Amino acid sequence: MQAVKDAGSSYSGKLALQQTSWPTPPEKTEALSNALRKVEGVRSAGSPDERGVRVLTFDLKKRTLLKAVLDAAEAAGVPLKNPDPPKGAG
């Protein structure tokens, strides 16, 4: 996971991940958001777009492991993966 710093922002690390099942029932989506926000260094769990892709924001002053993010999602019952390319892209 690589983060690019914005000008002076300490919350500028971002990572896009896609929910493996989409659409997801609202209660599962909320459970995933809550689980992700509890991971050390996650500033924002983002909201899923029309493809179930979330852009997570991280506090770069804290150490966040990708495994911790993926484990939290799995525990919430909504695993995350590398995003699929949009249809028609390529």
**Does residue 87 form part of some domain?**
no
pTM: 0.83
Q: Is the pLDDT of residue 89 over 90?
A: no
**Does residue 49 form part of some domain?**
yes
Residues of the domain holding 46: 13-81
Please tell me which residue, 88 or 65, carries the higher pLDDT value.
65
Total domains in the fold of the chain: 1
For 14-72, the pLDDT digits (tens) are 999 999 999 999 999 999 999 999 999 999 999 999 999 999 999 989 999 999 999 99
- State the CATH number of the domain containing residue 36: 3.30.70.100
Tokens 């029309």, located at residue: 50
**Does residue 27 form part of some domain?**
yes
**Does residue 76 form part of some domain?**
yes
**Does residue 23 form part of some domain?**
yes
**Does residue 3 form part of some domain?**
no
Omega cis (within 30) before 23: yes
**Does residue 65 form part of some domain?**
yes
**Does residue 28 form part of some domain?**
yes
